[in-house]
Structure formats: C-alpha cells, structure tokens
Structure 1
Amino acid sequence: MHRWGIRTLSFAMALALAGLACAQQPGLQEIYALNRQAVGLLEQGRYEQAIATARQAVQQAERTLGPDHPGLAAALTNLGQAYLAGGQYSEAEAPMRRAIEIGQSSWGMGPADLGALYNNLGTLYAKLGRLRDAEASYRRALGLEDRIGTPHLFVATWLNNLAVLYIREQRYQDAWTLAEKSLVLMPERTSADPAVAETFSLMGSLREREGQYADARKLLQWALDIRIRAYGEQHPVTATSLHNLGMVLEKGGEPAQAEPLLLRALAIRERLPADHPELGQSLVDLALHYQAVGKPQQAQAYFERAFVNLRARLQQYFGFMSEDDRLRLLDDVGYAFPAYFAFVLKNAPQQPGAVGTMYDLVLLRKGMVAISIRALQEDIAREGDAQALELARQLRERRTLMSNLQRRGITGEAIERLASESADLERQLARRSASFASRQQATQSRWQAVRDALGPGDAAVEYVVFDLPAPRAGSRSVVALVLRRADTLPRLVELGDGQVLSAALQDYRRRAGLDRQPPPPAASTRGFAEAMWKPLLPALGGARRVYLAADDVLNQVAWAAVSDGDALLIEQVELRLLSSTRELAAPRQPDAAARTAVLAGNIDFGSSKDGRDAFSPLPGTRDEVAALARLLGDASWQVTTLEGAHASERRLKAVRHPRVLHVASHGFFERRGTGTIALEDPMLRSGLALAGANTHGGPGEAGADEDGVLTALEASALDLRGTELVVLSACETGLGQIYQGEGVFGLRRAFEQAGAQSVMMSMWKVPDEQTRSLMTLFYGKWLAGVDKHQALRDAQLELRRQVIRDWGRDRPQLWAAFILLGP
C-alpha cells in the first residue's frame, strides 16, 4: 500500500509547473525540506514526529503558497497520512479531503497524484468501516488510470487496496483477480521491492481464507523478507508481516512457531500510541493464542490490555462518527467481546476475577451506540450551540424526507443522497460534542457500582447471548451474570447453547398463547422458566426484587407471561426490566418539573383514494384517552390531548419533554420481506400511525411535509429529555430487529435515544378492550402513589383475574403483552 502521500518528486514538479523555482520565492525550500522530513519520518515509523513536522509544512505552505496551491495539497496529504498511520483517524479526514479539493481545481496536479489523494482517503474510510465510501474513492483513483499512461506502480497499489476491501466483503475471487492484475503492472519491479510485498501479503491473506496455509505461509514469508530488507526489523510495516505470518501458523496448527512472531510484532507495536488499532489487534490475538494453548493467566493479562486499548479507540472514534459508522466499527472490532466471554466461560473456576471483568465489559458493550447518540442529543439541547442546533434541524428534515420517500416506495439515488447527507450531518454534530469521550471517561461503569446500588433484597441479572469462536464457530452460548449486594464477585450461570435458547423461546410462545403448535414431548425439552430462570435461583438467593437486563432475542420476551407451570414468575418475584443494569449506577436524570402529560388517541387516519386503508379506525382509543385525561386531571396534572386530525406528526414532533407521553394508535414493525415496501433500515420499518396516515402513504412524489407515519428514525429525534414515562399503547411497539449488543432496533430504541427514562410497549397485538382496561388500571395505581413497575405488575395481575373470569381460563395474550423498560 502506498502509505506516504504524494511523492516529494511530485511536489517539486508542481512547483515547476507553477513557474516557480525554489530559490525565487522565500520559504519554498523550507516547505520542501519539511515535506521530505515528514515523509522520511513516516517511512521510519516515527508517526508522532511525522505529524508534528507535517503540521509545520502545512502552516508554512498556507502562509507562503496560498489556499489553492498543489504544494499545499502535498503537505496536507502528508499530514493526513501521518494521522492515519498513527491511528489518529479523527484528524485524518479533514486534511485529506482538503487536499482533494485543491487537486480537483489545481492545474498543477497530475492524474497520478490526484489518484493518490483519492486512494489515501479510501484507505482511511476502509479503516473506519465505511466500505462503500472507500470503494467509491478507490474507483475514482482507478478511473484516472488511462490518463496516467504507462502502467504505473500507483495503479498497482490502488488495485491492492481495493482487493483488501473485497476480502472484507468476502468477494475473494474478485480480490484475487485484482492482485494478479497488480503484479502484471509491476514487471520491472524486483522481488525485493516493497510494492511487490504488498501483493504477496494480499495473496497470502486470500490463501489463508481458503485454508491453504502452506501457500499462505510461503507468500507471507516472502512479504516479510522483502519488508525487513526495505524497512528494517523494527518498522510497524514489518510488524504487520510478522503478525500476519504468525496468525497463519496459528491457524495452520503450529502455535509454537506462531508465538515468537506474534510477540515480535507486539514488541514493535508497543511503541505506537496506546490507542493504535494495530496494537489492539496484537493484544487480542495474543490473548486468543494463550487461551488456545492453555495458559489462562497470560490470556487474561493480554485481554485486559486489549480492552484498555479498545476503550481508548472507541472514545476517539465515536467523537467524529455517525451512528451507522459506530455500528460498523463495532462489527469490525466487536469480536473481542464474545472471544473474551467464551474465555471466561471456560476458565472462570481458575480465573474467578475474570467474571468481574466480563460484567464490566457487558456494561460497556450493551447499548453502547444508543447511549452515545442519546448523550450527543442531550448535549446539543443543553448547550444551545446555534450551529449545532441548525445541524440538528437539517438532520431532522432529511430524516423526515427519507422516511417519506422510502415509505412511498421511492428508492435509488435520491435516497442514497439523503442517507449520505444525514450521515455527514451526524458526523459534524459528533465533532461539536465531546459527550461520549468525556462521559465514558468520567463514568465508566463497573460491576461494583451496580452492586452498591442494590438494596438488601435486590439482585441484578445480565443475560448475555454471544457467538462462540473457533473451533465452535457458528454456535452460540447463553449465560447470566448475577449480582447481589453482599457479593464479592458476580456469579456466572451457564444456561446452554443456541438450541436450548430456541427451544425455551418456543415453550414461552406456546404458554403465552402466541404459538399454536402442539407442545413437544415433555422429556425432549425444558420449558422457558426451567431453562432461563430456575438455574439462576441459587445465585439469586431468595431476592425479592430482580433488575433484569435481557439480551438478543430475550429482549422480545414479555416476562409477565413466563410461567414455570405452577405459578407466574411475576407472582414469585418483583421483576424490573432494564436495557442494562448500568442504569442502576447511573446518575438519575431529573424528571420534568411540571406534572404535564400529552395524550394522543382517537386519531383520524383518513381514507385512501382506492379504499385500501392501511390503518383502520380505533374508536376504543377515544374512551382510553378520555379515561386517562380524567385520572390525570383529578391528580392535578396539566393534560394536553391530541385527537382526530390534531393528532398529527407535526404536532407530536413539536412536543417538548412532557413528564408523560401516551400514544394510543396503530404501531407496526415490518419484518424484512413483508409489507408493500422492502426497507432495509429497521428504524424505517417500525413506527406509529398518526393523523392522515392513510391519505399520505400511497405511491407518488413526497416532499418534506409529514406523511402521517412517525417512523422510529424520526421518533429518535424527539425532545423527551426529562420525560419520565412514554406509553406506546399500540400493537407490537416493542418489536424490532435484533442487533447483537445493541438490543432492539425499533420504537423502543427510538424513544430511549430521544431521552425517555422509561418506555411501556407491547410485544404482540392486543384487543382494544383489554388494552384500555390495562391502561386505566395502571394509571390509577401509579397516580395513587404506587411505583410504576409495581403498578404495571398489579394491573396485569388484576386484568388476568378478569380474563379468567370472562373466559374460564387464563389467556396471557390478552393481558401480558406490555412491558415497562427503564428505571
């Protein structure tokens, strides 16, 4: 890979083309010397010094050459490359993009140099997981190939970088084709040339993925030999070859030969900044190596160092990334979490302290992106920065337009442009707030803080569902971490594998009346409570109140419906559902001072022209809203009702942090492949129907006006800071798409990100009559002074008794659908 920006020769040529000689204009020789020095420092792997020198070159070039000179582009490129090589990704993009802007408008920039600028930016985007942007940049570089003329080393480099991207996308044959083409473009290069080493390394990586370890080893050894001759024994590029060769030996069943190579790579990388990604890679892979060879103490030590590195990286990266960028990043680096969880599961008896570390990592990982986005939105609203508020307004506008277009079946370039603009706005907003980094540093959650927040009769439970690494890749494990106030360490309870979880969920659905399939033979499977709850009882030690944070598919369980065959779980213990037990130790956000409530219901959805309405009237919600308004009014609350045509998207978006927001309407979650429109984003496949939903939702052109459907994407931008309770009195409002570690993408995530402290929602469709009865019972108890979690429990049990009287038997599907999530 071409790592060092525009060649110094190109810089000199640019000056010559501009009609300038170094001796004829003061300061030019100094700029030239600084650029050469920066490139030299990069080639030596001295990244921090390279950054300082490149900054000097940029400052001098700005003063001497002006804002549009190709010489400034060269200095900016070297600065961007220094940031990239040093792992300071947050700083790299701005100088790289500015260099491209100069290159596009400057007559002194040749096609090879302009292509190098695009290639460098593509490399940064690939490091950040922005693969689509990376491919676009690489292709822009390759689009200049014909203008370059003679087959050029740069083109070979660009092909290699695109091939690396294809490997990440599992397009292995395409990657191999590009690697072969790259070698063809270097006929005059010798086997000692670093450029050839890049291609050998790429080919070795491809052979490794095919399981051809002997061929991979040969190719990677050639690459290593070349790099040692070119860069020396201690260069970070040499460390990359050492690490890659060590990993091939590890996977090929030669761990004893792999270990010294991995340690040599680490020794070089330890001179890099503490948050450098290559250092983190070495630490994780060495931890996995020592785990595989049965040395748990060494593995634990390397895992702990790896997660210190990862925390530091996330703090840096989240400060300039969009939400999708953050999720993609976690896809790339998040493998360290399940790898460690599997290690703890195997070695907890010998390494009991590792269970505490695992609990800390669960607190870090669960909902990490959602928390960071919520913190960002709170900071923007609190600080009142005019520019940030304007960016937030533009973001809301684009999300609305994107929601409207997609729900009307309009796709293609317009949607892609809006998505790109939205992501850029999110990145700009992130840069204006240090919320994630500062809050994470100040409030890194530890299991001891959760324990200390528990009362004498309390317990905390973190369910964790994770994928197992090789040799059990493709399998899953389910565990629970249990914590009581008197515990000196959390307790780890193994619950089974993915098959046990699937069977347990089938039993849960059958008992709740959601699955009409006949029950399996009694001896063939365990029930949900037997598999997922009873194994916890010894660790719970008779706790009367349990704070429970589900994970993965367990997030879609309505725990009120869980029964062990003799009694309901909520009859035996007081359950309080949280997104993470981290919430117990977090500073409590103040509730909205005023007793204000906004109630939306009895909504006029309108009628479509063809008579095929997507949303039918809900006359029962008129009585629901009226009953709740009376209860709240009698308790001296200030109540605003939104009914009929007034229950519009625009009015709901204008609501500002009431203490209670209650929406009685149609909710929906369209599973992928269902419905009339194929939508990829789960935050667009989930939403609430509001006034005019039937009249604005048909095919046709859409503008920025509201369409009557509040998608989860739009709801996430509501201002609900200080809102104590959001009640989504609608069908399936708790459903969504599961994203490992981040919970459920849908309305629940949206309202949590918007600032709501607690959200009540349903896990399946419930008739109007039972919904109205449950809501009336709940509000009556809560307003009378009962804790809201206890109020929901009591209301559900009372409604259950009514159902049994009316139907002669229990029907959980009529009374157990709603859950309350939050403190």
Structure 2
Amino acid sequence: MGWKKYFLLVLITLSLTISGFFGHNFLHNSPGTTTVAQATSNSCDSVGDGHSFYSLGQYHQAVNCYQKLLDTYKKNNNREGEADTLTYLGSTYRHLGEYSQAIDSFQQSLAINREIKNPQIKANALMGLGGVYHRQENYQQAIDYQQQALAIYRKIPDTYKEAECLTRLGDVHHRLAKYEQAIDYHQQSLNIYTNIGNSDGEAYALTGLGNAFWGLRRYKEAETALHKAITIRENIRRDVERDDGKVSIFERQALTYYLLQLVLAEQNKLQKALEISELGRNRALLEILFQRINEKPKEAMTLPSLTVEEIQQIARQQNATLVEYSVLFDKFLHMWVIPPQGEIKFRSFYLPNHLPKDISLKKLVEVSRQSIGVRGLTNDNPTSQADKSSTHLQQLHQLLIKPIAEFLPQDEQQRVIFIPHQELFLVPFVALQDDKYKYLIEKHTILTAPSIQTLSLTQKRKQTKNNPNASVPPSGASALVVGNPTMPKQKVRQELKPLDSLPGAEIEAKKIAKMLNTTPLIGDQATESVIVQKMASAKVIHLATHGLLDSINAIDSPGAIALAPSSKDDGFLTTSEIMEHFGLPEKSPLQAELVVLSACNTGRGDIKGEGVVGLSRSFIAANVPTVVVSLWKVPDDDTVKLMTDFYTNIYKNKFDKAKAMREAMLSMVKDNNGNHNPEAWAAFTVVGKAE
C-alpha cells in the first residue's frame, strides 16, 4: 500500500493519540465515580457531578463544577478535599489541552499533600503529571512520574490504579518505539484488569497490546488483541442505558476500531476492514433502530454486525452504489465502493502525500466551504473568489472521487450513496468538480447516509410495489409546513442577539404549503408545543426557520430548530427534545416519510466517533427514512426556488427524492433563472432513502 516508509512516523502519532485515549480512564471506575448512565442533571453539588460531566466529555462544565467544589473546600478548610479536587481539575485541563494549568493543579495538590500525607492523592497527582508530560512529549519525565505513582499504588495497595499506571507506562514506551517493553507493561495491566473483573480496563490494555504488536509488524497478534478489545467494548456499550452515554463511551472506544482497520489493511484483508469500518459507526443510533424494529425498547440487545455479503445485499436493495470513507488518525483515507452488482473495490492512501503542503484534510474541507460562502456573500473580486472555490472543490474531487471514479455508475440516473466519516460529513459532495469543472451532481444522483447499516434498519414503508407513485409522500392534512415562526427572545449566536425574522422562509412555507394542499403555520401559530404535537402524525414535515449549533449558540444541545415560544416552552426544539419525544426506542416514532429542515446548518452537529450528533440523527432515530438537511446558510430567494423545484419534482413529476433534488439542483446550475453559485444549491443533502 505504499505506507511502509511512513510506518514509524504513524506509529508515533498513533501512540500520542492513544495516550489521550487511555488518559480518559483517569476517573472512570474509581471508587465513588458517577457513571455515564447516571449523569442526568446539570447540578454541581458533589464531586460526582463533576465526574459526570467529565465522563460525557463535557470538560468545560466539569472544570466549572470542580472549581465550585474547590472554593467550597477552601472556605471550609477541607485540605484533603482541596488536594483531591485539584487532581480532577488537572486531569480535566489536560483533556482540554491546557497543560500549564494542568501541571499547576497537580503541583498544588502535591503541595497540600505534603501537609496531609495522603498516599492515594499523591499517587493520583503524580500519575496525572506523567500524563501531561507525555502529551508534551517529555517522555523521560513522564516515565519518572508514572514510576513514582506505580510504587505508591503497589504499596497502598490499589490494584486498579496500578493497572492504569502500567497502561500509561506501556503507552509512553510505545511512543519511544520500545515495543517489547510496551507489550510487557500492557500485559501486566491486562492481567490485573482480568483478575479484578474490570472489563473497561481490559479493553484499554488489549488496545495497547494491539498497537504495540502492530509496531512490531506482528499483525496476527495485533488483530487478535484488537478483536478481543472490540468484543468487550460492544458488551460494555450495550449495557449503558442512556443514548448520550453510549455516544460518549464510543468517543473513547473508536480508536480501537480505527487501529484494527489499519491492521487488517496491512494484511490485505480489505473486506474484513470494511466490516470493522461499519462496526465503528453510529452504534448508539443503530441500537435504537434495532430495538424498535424488534419491539423490545427497554431490553439490552446485541446489535448484529454486518458481513460483507449483507453489505452487498443492502446495495442491491437500495439499487445504489455505496461509497464508504474512513479517515484514520488524520493520516490515512480508506475508500470502499460497493456496487449493486459486482465486486467491492478498495482504494487508500497516505493523506499527507495527497494534500496541498501544510494543510490537513479537515482544513481543506473548511477552506472549501469558506470559499463557496465568501463568493456568495460579497461582490468584491468575484472572479478571484470563483477561482478559489473551483480550486478547492477540484482538490476535494481529486482526493475523494478521482481514485474511485472508474467504479462509479456511468448512468447519471443511477444512485450513489456516500457514507462519509469525520470531517467528510461537511463536504458538499454534489459540488465537487472534476478537472473540466463539471460538478459531481451533473454525473450522478447523490444521497448520503451515516452508515450502511442505517439504510438497512430504517423502518420500511408499506407501499404497493406496483404503484407508480409509491415514492411520492402524502399531502393535504398529513403535511406539516412551518415558516418564519415568531422567534424566541433569547440572545444567541456569537453576537448574542435575538434571532432575526425570516420573511423569505415565510414565502417559502406558503409556496410549499400550497403545493402540498395544506395551511402553513406562520409567526405565533408555530409554537414549539404545537409543532411537536402535529409532528407526531404528520407524513411530511417541512420546517423553514433558523437552525442553531451548540458550539455557536450555547443552547446546551448539538442542534436546535427555532420555533415560536409559549408559556410551555422556550421555542428551541433541540436534538435532545426530539430524541425524548420521538427518538428513544420506548417512544412512539414519527410517521413522517420525509422531513425537510430548510434552515442553516441543519446537517451539522457535533462530529464524534458516533458520527454527526445533530438534528439529522435525531430524526433518523425517530424513524424518518429520508431527511433533507443543509450544510450552511442559503440565501432566501435561492432556497425558495430550490425547494419549490424539489417538491414539484416529487408531486408533479413523480420523481423519487434523490432524483427530485438532483433535478432541482441542475435547474439552478443550468437554467438562466437559477443561481449557478454552489452556495445557492450545494448545501442541501438528501440523507437516507430515495424512495
């Protein structure tokens, strides 16, 4: 595969990444630690509340919690509480990459401990310092502190912390390419975790062993260790009850799946690597769908993994070519092409060799999106901006499409379903350009999906096979259309201002409602409580309003839809609320066959190991087979035209949803009355099923 010359470099990178991976275990399973499944409130009344935020990866909230507790301990002159909490603060700061504050917290804890002489707290602070120095690549100091901590844990004795310390020592020796010593430490750690019955620790140690075996090119042993780790991780996640807990746990588990993909690829087990790629996607979402299909919403069930044969069968059922991407440790890109008929094809390469100098894949995606948006928001030097946009879109095409172009269907009417990964979820695949400046949507009918198994598990609709209009969703009273609600007064976004009214969305809603033979809900009529009630029975849902992201708006949810507030609610319908109303397996799912989120950024969210945790995921969990979302804000006039054409293609021309969107986009690109700028049409993505 041409990777050998980069082998040592990548192993070092992996070691550093997995250091943080193991380091997250600092609080887990310690006596008295609140588990992920118990993290149900935003209170900060005890150290357990801080641990809950930490367990969910909500580090800033954890810092606030620990700081509040620290102030209380200082006020009450509780020196032991101070020293203990400072170690938790140090660990949390380390996860935030704030290393100087982490070191300061651990050193303060050690200073207090010279008075109180608590060996447990001292060892925790020493191990924490070792973790920080490891991340700073000061390996000898990392080893020294870990060895000091190890000696204390053995003296106490604290076998759990001894095992964790051994795992950390194994990782730092791996970082130094001392793989045999790394194996020895990880094996000692594994023996202890097995003896004390700590499954989570076993999985960490096995992952460390797999990584070290890979470093020695002992691929069979690496594969065995990593498979064992994944089996344990699947069992652990199955027993977690809450959806956000499952998402958080997989964020720490995902690296095991990524590493096994590389190990399998090195042995040319490319189809097995595809199975692992699928196994490492959307596990929490898939479990919800699986429980609902089997009508056992409150029962922990083992989600079956897909075999290559089943993946090929799904491609046939979807009558589509599936393209699955996997971005591994920011260094490797794997691509599988699964046609409805024929052999699975695989391509891969080492990313730094195929990207512009000093730019990462994440950065290329970011600048590509910015160039599209900049060109549409300013008239300054439009030719220059257009050139920049085309250049970036061509670079992404060169990277993501050209290596597999020969395996894609030649018939532009045949569907291609892209299954992105990591930052590729933000790529406007429809707008990628080849070297002749031809957009991908001109060559193919395109959809996306969070995983192949999602396509399989989304509930099938009962439609007559011989009905030529089977793919056309219902209209009339069963359609819910919302536009320009009276916006909540809460100040949001970076400007901390209330949301602006959307007169263009109102025009859009009225036009769509007329096409669907229904009455739109506008202004004060479109309250959150009313919309939630009507969503339950609607067959088609179209929401033309603001979409918000937590990273920008501080709404305490990965995404939200702005609706009119009332005495019963705040007007923000969040992803969490959609899950609570319709998405959890014990809830009655939505009946909608199509949900269109005609708002900015509705296709975005928190990108995690689970996938994109945002609005689209919530609606898929609520059993909606097709969701249309946007990747950025689209000008009002363009949205109105695109959406009008989209629904016309569905209801008048009887196209399936993927073809309907394709034709609507092509009308923007090719018609004289359309806006050719990708900003005007490429944001929208059809997620899920075409029919």
Q: Scaled by the length of structure 2, what TM-score is found? A: 0.73
CA shift for structure 1 position 535: 0.8
CA distance in 2, matches of 1:715, 1:124: 23
> Are residues 316 and 520 of structure 1, via their aligned partners in 2, closer, same or farther at CA, if it must alter by over 3 Å?
same
Structure 1 residue runs of 5 or longer lacking an equivalent are 1-80, 98-103, 105-117, 384-432, 469-475, 631-638, 697-702
Q: Structure 2 vs 1, CA of residues 295 and 147 (structure 1 numbering), >3 Å: closer, same or farther? A: same
Paired AA for residue 679 in structure 1: A
Q: Give the aligned partner of residue 493 of structure 1.
A: 348
Question: Given the alignment of the two structures, is residue 789 of structure 1 paired with residue 658 of structure 2, yes or no?
Answer: yes
1:505 is displaced (CA, Å) by 6.7
Give, in whole Å, the separation in 2 of the partners of 1:666 and 1:558: 21
The C-alpha deviation readout for 1:45-92, integer Å capped at 9, x for no partner, is: xxxxxxxxxxxxxxxxxxxxxxxxxxxxxxxxxxxx998669995899
Contact 2:549–2:601 (Cα < 8 Å) also in 1: no
Give the Å deviation of 1:820. Answer: 1.5
The answer (yes or no) to whether the contact 1:624–1:775 under 8 Å persists in 2 is no
Provide the residue aligned with 2:685 in structure 1: 819
Aligned equivalents of 2:275 and 2:405: distance in 1? 22
Q: Distance in 2 between matches of 1:665 and 1:266?
A: 54
Letter in 2 for 1:551: H
For the residues of structure 2 that align with 1:665 and 1:534, how far apart are their CA atoms? 36
1:655 alignment counterpart: 534
Q: Which residue of 324, 331, 334 maps to 1:479?
A: 334
Closer, same or farther: CA 613–776 of 1 in aligned 2, 3 Å: closer
**Structure 2 counterpart of 1:598:** 479
Q: Give the SS at the match of 2:628.
A: strand
The answer to whether residue 334 in structure 2 is matched with residue 334 in structure 1 is no
SS state at 2:351 partner: strand
1:176 to 2:106 alignment: yes
Q: Specify the SS of the correspondent of 2:503.
A: coil
Q: Deviation at 1:495? A: 7.6
What secondary structure, in the 3-state scheme, does the structure 1 residue paired with 2:195 have? coil
Partner secondary structure for residue 647 of structure 1: coil
Shift of 1:287: 1.3
Q: Deviations over 1:347-376 (max 9, x none)?
A: 72x4122x3444334334433445556778
- Mark the CA change 1:203 to 1:260 in structure 2 (over 3 Å): closer, same or farther: same
Displacement of 1:280 after TM fit? Answer: 1.1
User: 1:624 Cα shift?
Assistant: 0.9
Specify the SS of the correspondent of 1:600: strand
5+ residue gaps, structure 2 = 1-26, 464-472, 490-496, 583-588
- Alpha-carbon deviation of 1:246? 3.1
One of 596, 605, 625 as aligned partner of 1:757: 625
- Report the equivalent of 2:309: 448
Cα 1:715/1:277, change in 2 over 3 Å: closer
Aligned to 1:254: 178
- The amino acid of 2:397's aligned partner reads A
Alignment equivalent of 2:228, drawn from 273, 297, 305: 305
8 Å CA contact 1:590, 1:722 repeated in 2: no
Aligned residue-pair number: 614
* Mean Cα deviation higher: 219-228 or 125-134: 125-134
1:230-309 residue pairs with structure 2 within 5 A?
A: 231=157, 235-273=159-197, 276-309=199-232
Matches within 5 A, 1:731-750: 731-744=599-612, 746-750=614-618
* 1:580 has 2:451 as partner: yes
Query: 1:645–1:292: structure 2 CA closer, same or farther, 3 Å change rule?
Result: same
The CA deviation string for residues 707-731 of structure 1, in whole angstroms up to 9 with x for no partner, is: 5554555555554523110123x34
Q: CA deviation at 1:340?
A: 4.2
Q: Where do 1:132-143 residues align within 5 Å?
A: 132=61, 136=65
Aligned CA distance change for structure 1 residues 133 and 322 (closer, same or farther; 3 Å): farther
Q: Name which structure has the greater RCO, CA cutoff 8 Å, separation 6+.
A: 2
Contact 1:669/1:746 (CA < 8 Å) preserved in 2?
A: no
User: Following TM superposition, by how much is the alpha carbon of 1:480 offset from its aligned partner in structure 2, in angstroms?
Assistant: 2.1
Q: Is the 8 A contact 1:480 1:492 kept in 2?
A: yes
Correspondence 1:366 to 2:281: yes
Contact 1:239/1:268 (<8 A) preserved: yes
Q: Which amino acid counterpart does residue 562 of structure 1 have in structure 2? A: L
The alpha-carbon deviation at position 810 of structure 1 amounts to 4.4
Q: Is the 8 A contact 2:485 2:522 kept in 1?
A: yes
**Residue 596 of structure 2: SS of its match in structure 1?**
strand
> Helix, strand or coil: the match of 1:366?
coil
Match of 1:185 in 2: 115
Q: 1:778 maps to which residue?
A: 646
Q: Structure 1 pair 255/451, CA: closer, same or farther in 2 (3 Å)?
A: same
Verify the 8 A CA contact 2:87 2:128 in the aligned structure 1. yes
Structure 1 position 279, deviation (Å): 0.7
Contact 1:601–1:625 at 8 Å: present in 2 too?
Answer: no
Q: Deviations over 1:488-523 (max 9, x none)?
A: 766243383563744477567768964842525999
Is the 8 Å Cα contact of residues 345 and 407 (structure 2) preserved in structure 1? no
Distance 1:508 1:162 in 2: 37
| Alpha-carbon distance, 1:555 to partner | 2.6
For 2:573 and 2:37, how far apart are their aligned partners in 1?
36
Q: Per-residue displacement from partner, 1:621-676 (whole Å, max 9, x unpaired)?
A: 3651353134xxxxxxxx56435643333321211434533436333446956xxx
Shift in CA distance, 524/230, structure 1 to aligned 2, threshold 3 Å: closer
Choose which of 308, 317, 326 in structure 2 pairs with 1:464.
326
> Do 2:557 and 2:574's aligned partners in 1 also have CA atoms closer than 8 Å?
no
Maintained 8 Å contact 2:458/2:624: no
Distance in 1 (alpha carbons) for counterparts of 2:29 and 2:103? 32
Alignment of 1:74-85 (within 5 A): none
Residue identity in the other structure for 1:217? I
Give yes or no for contact 1:669–1:736 (8 Å, CA) kept in 2.
Answer: no
Contact 1:712 1:750 in 2 (8 A): yes
1:252 & 1:484 partners in 2: Cα distance? 43
Aligned-residue identity in percent: 18
1:427-576 residue pairs with structure 2 within 5 A?
Answer: 434=298, 437-438=300-301, 441-455=302-316, 458-468=320-330, 476-485=331-340, 491-494=346-349, 496-497=351-352, 499=359, 501=361, 502-503=363-364, 514=376, 516=382, 517=385, 519=387, 526-540=394-408, 544-564=414-434, 565=436, 567-576=438-447
Shift of 1:765: 4.8
Please say if residues 372 and 389 of structure 2, whose CA atoms lie closer than 8 Å, have aligned partners that are also in contact: no
- Is 2:554 the counterpart of 1:679? yes
Alpha-carbon contact 1:246-1:258 (below 8 Å) kept? yes
Conserved in 2, the CA contact under 8 Å of 1:552 and 1:738?
no
Query: Distance between the aligned counterparts of 1:448 and 1:537, measured in 2?
Result: 23
Alignment partners' CA distance in 2, 1:292 and 1:743: 28
Contact 1:503-1:526 at 8 Å conserved across structures: no
Distance verdict in 2 for CA 1:649–1:500, change over 3 Å: same
Q: Which one-letter code corresponds to 1:642 in the other structure? A: L
Q: What is the DSSP-based 3-state SS (H/G/I as helix, E as strand, rest coil) of the residue aligned with 1:180?
A: helix
Distance 1:569 1:270, change over 3 A: same
Matched residue type, 1:334: A
Deviations 1:432-491 (A, max 9, x none): x645x41xx1433444322122229742111233434xxxxxxx5443232235667662
Change (3 A) 1:772 1:332: closer
Distance 2:679 2:76 in 1: 68
Root mean square deviation, CA, Å? 4.8
Does the 8 Å CA contact 1:597/1:640 hold for their aligned counterparts?
Answer: no
What is the TM-score with the length of structure 1 in the denominator?
Answer: 0.62
In structure 2, distance between residues paired with 1:503 and 1:133: 32
Instruction: Work out whether residues 596 and 629 of structure 2, in 8 Å CA contact, stay in contact via their aligned partners in 1.
Output: yes
C-alpha distance in 1, partners of 2:47/2:636?
Answer: 58
Deviates more, 1:778-787 or 1:258-267: 778-787
1:126 Cα offset (Å): 5.5
